[in-house]
Every structure is written in C-alpha cells, then in structure tokens.
Amino acid sequence: MTRVLVVDDSALMRRLLGGVLRAGGFDVTFARDGQEALESIAAAPPDVVTMDVQMPRMDGLACLDRIMLEHPVPVVMLSSLTEAGAQATLEALRLGAVDFLPKPAGAASLSIDELAPVLLEKLRAAMGARLRSSHRLTERVRLRAGRPAAPRAARYTEPAPSLVPDTPPGDPPGIVLVGCSTGGPPALDALLEPLPASFPWPVLVAQHMPAGFTGALARRLDKLCALTVQEVSRPVRLLAGHVYIGRGDADLILGRRPEELLAMAAPSAPEHRWHPSADRMVDSAMALLPAARLVGVLMTGMGDDGAASMARLRAAGGRTVAEAEETAVVWGMPGALVRAGGASAVLPLGGIAGALRDWLA
C-alpha cells in the first residue's frame, strides 16, 4: 500500500486529510511540524508527502529544503490563498516540491470534499515525478548557461520555419505559445531566463494554477529574466520581448482590435478541464494567425492539455516543441503531444530556449 506522510500542525487538517487519503487507498502517517517530519522520513521513508507551509519549530520550506537534500521524496505543498502563501508556494516549487494545492480556508470540513479528488490525483501524479529533474532545476540549468545544446539532443527535428513576410502593420512577426502544469514554474524559469530582452516574438503562457498564484508567478519571472512579464487580467497589446501569463482560474486567449493583437483573460470554458487552458489558447491563436507565425511549446505537466491543439498546429504548418521525457517532472502533456505525432522537435528543457533563439533569429 502507498504510504503518505501528512505534515500539518492543525489536528483538524490532519484528521480531514487522513480521512480523504485512507478512503483513497493510502496508508497514512502524520507529523505535526517539520522536525517531526524529518525524523519520520529518516526512520521510514514514505512514498509521498503533503506539507503545510506555516508550522512551529520548523516550517514547511525549511523542512522541504532538508528533505530534498537528505531524503528526496515527492512533496505536494498545501498553501494558503494569500500573497504570502503564493510567494511561499513558488519558493517551495523552486526548492523541489512537485506540486501544490490551495489549503481549505474557513470551514475546512465543508470544502474538503471538493479538494479530495484533486488531492488524490496530484499525489498519484507526484509519485511518478522525476525528482532529479525537479530538484534545484533552475540552479542546474544556470550552471549550463552559455553552453549550446548539442544537436543530437533533439530526437526529431524539422527545418526551421521561415517568417511570414506579409505580417500586418502593428502585429508582431509571430507568437510563442507555452503550455505547462505540474513542475511548470521552475521549468518556466529555465525557459525564459536565457531569452534576451530583444526576443522578437511575444510569449503567451498557460500555466495551470489557481487564481491568486499566477500574479505572484508573473512578478517573480519579471524579476528573474530580461523579458517583461505580466499577468493578463485585462486586454493588453502583444509586444515583442514581453511574456503574458494567463490568470489563474480563467483562460488566456488571443483577440484582435484594428491593427493590433491582444492577450485577453476569458472566463474558463467548462469543456476544458484545466485552466488556463493550453488547448483554448492555441486554438484562439490559430483562428487569427497563419500557423507559420506560431510556435507551440508544451512542457511538464500531468494530463494532455495542449496536445490536441498543438498537433493541429503542426499539421497546419506551424512549429511545435515537446519537452523530452528525461527532463520533464511529469511527462503527461508533452508525452501526449509526442504520441499524437504532433511534435516537430523533442528537446530537453535546457535546449528549448536556444532552439527558439535560433529559429527566430
């Protein structure tokens, strides 16, 4: 039976989470703070851990850091829906947490039933995560910065697309469309940090996250990279050298005014399971632009969001990249694109930015 360690200083949360996990077929043990968690993991390593952030003696971030260095196991964080909680969540993902869930607020016993199926799904996905890829991912990519990716790193490539010469006035020459989910924030670090401020195409990002977390993600990326990064909460004109992050619990779509393209937040479409939806983002772009002016990038994440639309993009003459299995924390989304025959190139994470620079130079 799969063993889960629940780390939380709240007796109520331990009881509620324990009930959900036992009903889901897990063997559950508990720790009241980070220090107890480290002792429990050293004595009998679990298959996966749920970790609260705010705890006495040793908080979740300090404990997570120790776990990743001493006894690496998959960790899913439970974070509050506050600005501080969002910042702590992004730091946890940087330190090596596989995924996170917003922690039930208010009457937790009333919201636990809504949380339960997502928690079980994320824990099962976390158990298959590649810890070597997620742990200190950004730092390892930085160490390799400046070393061009070896051509053989791409398992399948096609000639680079030529830019469409008849770009309408006011339009960027093309758009890069990025989809990611589990493991996505550190993967976005690695993708965007090497791109220069002069990068010629705007970048749209559909990262599966709840509302309240994508704004913090955009602000963090804006400080990290040379590109200008913003969360899309209202219609904004697309500009070269800019990155547009879809707002959590909404969808990011492309729109048009006379002589300008716009990134817009739209209410989440019920036919798509995950939001912001990569499939809806790509389909909206294909409705307004020729496929040759679009490049799709599908990175780590569970499920198959983005695979169908990017396969259609490639079939129509666009360019698509799937992150390689050896670097993806969870090879669900990019793997689905590869299996659908929709990947123009399959590249390790550290080679995607260089490929984009080369193709669009």
| pLDDT given for residue 128 in this prediction | 85
Whether 108 has a pLDDT exceeding 70, the answer reads no
User: Whole-angstrom Cα distance, residue 114 to residue 50?
Assistant: 17
Average pLDDT, the chain: 89
Look up 47 and say whether it is catalytic: no
Check 9, 33, 189, 305 and give the catalytic one.
305
Among 8-17, 126-135, 282-291, 294-303, the range scoring the smallest mean pLDDT is 126-135
Confidence of residue 93 (pLDDT cuts 50, 70, 90): very high
Confidence of residue 172 (pLDDT cuts 50, 70, 90): confident
Unique residue bearing structure tokens 């550190």:
186
Q: What is the DSSP string of 23-39?
A: HTT-EEEEESSHHHHHH
User: Whole-angstrom Cα distance, residue 278 to residue 256?
Assistant: 19
Strand order in the sheet with 260-267: 236-237, 260-267, 250-257
Work out the number of other CB atoms within 10 angstroms of the CB of residue 163: 14
| pLDDT given for residue 168 in this prediction | 64
Confidence of residue 102 (pLDDT cuts 50, 70, 90): confident
Check 52, 79, 208, 344 and give the catalytic one.
208
Look up 189 and say whether it is catalytic: no
Pairing mode of beta strands 3-7, 48-52 = parallel
| pLDDT given for residue 84 in this prediction | 76
Residue 132 to residues 111, 136, 189, 327, 340: CA-CA distances in angstroms? 34, 8, 16, 8, 27
Query: What mean pLDDT is predicted for residues 151-176?
Result: 58
For residue 30, the cross-strand partners are 6
Look up 305 and say whether it is catalytic: yes
Higher pLDDT, 259 or 218: 218
| pLDDT given for residue 140 in this prediction | 41
For 277-312, write each residue's pLDDT tens digit: 999 999 999 999 999 999 999 999 999 999 999 999
Amino acid at the residue 13:
M
**Structural domains of the chain sorted by starting position, each given as residue range(s) with its CATH number in brackets:** 3-128 (3.40.50.2300), 137-360 (3.40.50.180)
User: Whole-angstrom Cα distance, residue 142 to residue 275?
Assistant: 29
Confidence of residue 35 (pLDDT cuts 50, 70, 90): very high
Check 80, 181, 277, 344 and give the catalytic one.
181
